[in-house]
Structure formats: C-alpha cells, structure tokens
C-alpha cells in the first residue's frame, strides 16, 4: 500500500481506502461486512469512510460492531462520518449544517460506531441556509472537544471551501483539511478544474468517491444488469439508468481493451487511474463482497503502469 498526506495536514491515509455507502445495511451486515473490512485492513487500508445518513445510521452501527470484533488497535486506522441530511425527523435536523444539529449528530455517530472520537468528519453537502461562519465554528468546537480530529467538506464548491478556510484563518479556528468529491473517468470537473488552485493555496486534500461510478467502470453492465448488483436494489432506480447508459458502456468496452493488454481488470485500471492523480489523497473504494475488495486493492500496483502513452489512450476514449 502507498500512503499519502491528507492535503497539507500531517496525517497520512492509504491511497486506496474503503467506504460503506449502499453496501453496509442494504447488502451486507455482520460477518460479511467484517470480512470486507478485514480484507481491506489486511491489504494496508487505514481509512474507512462512513456517514450518518448511510442506511439511516445502520451503516455506522455495522462498522462499529465489526471494528470492535476485529479488535484493531485504535492508532492503526482512521474512521469518518458525514453530516447534512440528518436521521432524526425534526425541523432543525434535516438538510442542514446548523450548530445545534452538528453538535448533537456527532454524538449519535460516536454511540453507533462505539468510538470516543472520529478521525475525519465531513459536511456532506453545502447548506446555503446556514451561514458558513456558524458551521465553521461548530466544526471547530467539535474538534476542540476531542470528538473529531480533522474536518472537511463533500461536494462543496471551490468558493464555499475558500470562504470556510478564510473564516477559520481569520479567527484561528481549525481549518477544513479535505474535500470529498466524486471522481472517476466520467466525472472529473471539480477535481481537475474547479479545485485546481486550492491544492496550493489552502492545501486541500481529497478523499474521492465512486471510482467505478457505482460499478459501471467494472464492466459488469456492458451486457445488461447482473443479479445482485447495485443496479438491482430497490430505491436505486436512478442509478440503474446511469450504469446502463449505452454510450457510457461503449466507452467502458473500449477501456477493456487497454485493461486486457495490461493484464489487469477494468476495476483495477479505473481505480488506479483515479489514484494516479497526485492531488488525490485517497480513493475511497466500495465493494459488496470481500473478493471485490481484494481485486480492487491490488490496483495500487497498477498506478505505476499508467505511462503517458496508456493515459493518452484512456483520454482518447473518455
């Protein structure tokens, strides 16, 4: 495994990490979830991503129970959660980053995850109805209280990140360290264009999501929708349309020729491509079974094989 600094911070994360969206709860629990986490940890993963809203809190409960069972020493891994959508049904706890919500939500995560503190916490989306200053102070206070170590954002605009960073700078508060944007061969704009100046100015780190575009880049949807795949899950119909798109699957089929030539799988190539961007601190992978985890994490050995020539051919397809 390779480890990279999380932006300008001193902490280092495995370049490939593991997250639980969709899978923990709807697809996996108990031993199966534990096996995925163990496979990732054994391959050198030290960052495990989660969110309050995943399966309405159940994803945090499953991960917390599995980590307790696995008995990992606390200093060997980082865990995260994210806040915005809220899981309590009340006026101040939905679609918000207000101070009251944030300071209570973290306690719910700690209880479900069975931890005294989380390593990384994220604002899961921007909240235009709460002043950014209120949110920055709330995140600062959570960190000061010892319940989290670093904070960041997810799917914020560059302007919003800079505003938060400048408020923190002005008041000597804990600054946002990392952003969690989608990044894969289909979705590239934020990472490659919008955030371009922030890597130097604010020292932004990236924990990127959906390297396989929910499985599309694994090639599993080239010939239809396989049984037990994410696209068959009820509640994810919007995703089925995206992963079965004809034009996208034609590109994936063309990418397969390059993967075959390199002797790697499509998933390994697509994940390695994300990790080959030096601004990416960690690529958060997802998997519905331990075999996928093992396959995906060997992508770390494929990064160095993305020569300028290979990259150019990939560019030509996408």
- DSSP letter at 172? T
Sole window of 96-104, 187-195, 291-299, 304-312 interacting with ligand NDP (rule: CB under 6 A) = 291-299
281 is an interface residue for ligand NDP by CB under 6 A: no
Among 16, 296, 303, 314, binds ligand NDP (CB under 6 A): 296
Q: How many CA atoms lie within 13 A of 302 on its CB side?
A: 26
Sole window of 68-76, 112-120, 197-205, 280-288 interacting with ligand NDP (rule: CB under 6 A) = 280-288
CB of 16 to ligand NDP, least distance (A): 10
Sole window of 97-105, 111-119, 186-194, 214-222 interacting with ligand NDP (rule: CB under 6 A) = 214-222
CB of 307 to ligand NDP, least distance (A): 23
273 is an interface residue for ligand NDP by CB under 6 A: no
For ligand NDP, the closer of residues 22 and 113 by Cβ is 22
Phi-psi region of 13 (alpha: psi -120 to 50; beta: other; left: phi over 0): beta
User: For the chain, what is the HEC assignment?
Assistant: CCEEECCCCCCEEECEEEECCCCECCCECHHHHHHHHHHHHHCCCCEEECCCCHHHHHHHHHHHHHHHHHCCCHHHCEEEEEECCCCCCCCCCCCCCCHHHHHHHHHHHHHHHCCCCEEEEEECCCCCCCCHHHHHHHHHHHHHCCCEEEEEECCCCHHHHHHHHHHHHHHCCCCEEEECCECCCCCCHHHHHHCCCHHHHCCCEEEEECCCHHHHHHCCCCCCCCCCCHHHCCCCHHHHHHHCCHHHHHHHHHHHHHHHHHCCCHHHHHHHHHHCCCCCCEEEECCCCHHHHHHHHHHHHCHHHCCHHHHHHHHHHC
Q: How many residues bind ligand NDP (CB under 6 A)?
A: 30
Among 164, 185, 287, 314, binds ligand NDP (CB under 6 A): 287
Sole window of 8-16, 86-94, 110-118, 283-291 interacting with ligand NDP (rule: CB under 6 A) = 283-291
Other Cβ atoms less than 10 A from the Cβ of 163: the count is: 16
14 is an interface residue for ligand NDP by CB under 6 A: no
The dihedral through the CA atoms of 5, 6, 11, 16 has a sign that is negative
Q: Look up residue 219 and give its two tokens.
A: 């090639």
Residues 62-121 binding ligand NDP (CB under 6 A) are none
Annotation says 54 is catalytic: yes
For ligand NDP, the closer of residues 229 and 281 by Cβ is 229
215 is an interface residue for ligand NDP by CB under 6 A: yes
280 is an interface residue for ligand NDP by CB under 6 A: no
From 54, 77, 101, 183, the catalytic residue = 54
CB of 171 to ligand NDP, least distance (A): 26
Among 9, 14, 20, 109, binds ligand NDP (CB under 6 A): 20
Sole window of 15-23, 38-46, 91-99, 249-257 interacting with ligand NDP (rule: CB under 6 A) = 15-23
Residues 135-194 binding ligand NDP (CB under 6 A) are 154-155, 180
Active-site residues: which are they?
Answer: 54
Would you tell me which residues interact with ligand NDP (CB under 6 A)?
19-23, 27, 49, 154-155, 180, 209-215, 218, 220, 229-230, 267, 284-288, 292, 295-296
């Amino acid at each position: 495994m390779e480890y990279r600094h999380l932006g300008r911070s001193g902490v280092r994360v495995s370049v490939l990490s593991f997250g639980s969206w969709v899978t923990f709860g709807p697809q996996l629990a108990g031993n199966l979830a534990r096996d995925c986490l163990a496979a990732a940890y054994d391959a050198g993963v030290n960052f495990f991503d989660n969110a309050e809203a995943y399966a309405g809190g159940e994803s945090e409960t499953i991960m917390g129970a599995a980590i307790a069972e696995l008995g990992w020493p606390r200093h060997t891994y980082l865990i995260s959660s994210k806040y915005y959508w809220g899981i309590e049904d009340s006026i101040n706890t939905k679609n918000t980053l207000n101070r009251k919500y944030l300071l209570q939500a973290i306690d719910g995560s700690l209880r479900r995850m069975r931890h005294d503190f989380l390593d990384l916490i994220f604002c899961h989306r921007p909240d235009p109805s709460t002043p950014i200053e209120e949110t920055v102070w709330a995140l600062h206070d959570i960190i000061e209280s010892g319940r989290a170590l670093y904070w960041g954002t997810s799917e914020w605009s560059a302007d919003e990140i800079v505003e938060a960073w400048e408020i923190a700078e002005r008041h000597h508060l804990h600054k946002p360290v990392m952003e969690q944007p989608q990044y894969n061969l289909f979705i590239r704009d934020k990472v490659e264009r919008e955030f371009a100046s922030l890597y130097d100015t604010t020292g932004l780190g990236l924990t990127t999501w959906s390297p396989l575009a929910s499985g599309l880049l694994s090639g599993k949807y080239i010939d239809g929708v396989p049984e037990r795949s994410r696209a068959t899950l009820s509640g994810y119909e919007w995703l089925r349309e995206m992963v079965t798109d004809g034009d996208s699957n034609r590109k994936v089929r063309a990418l397969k020729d390059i993967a075959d030539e390199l002797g790697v799988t499509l998933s390994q190539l697509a994940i390695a491509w994300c990790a080959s961007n030096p601004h990416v601190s960690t690529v958060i992978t997802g998997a519905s079974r331990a075999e996928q985890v093992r396959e995906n994490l060997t992508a770390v050995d494929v990064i160095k094989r993305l020569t300028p020539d290979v990259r150019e051919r990939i560019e030509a397809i996408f």
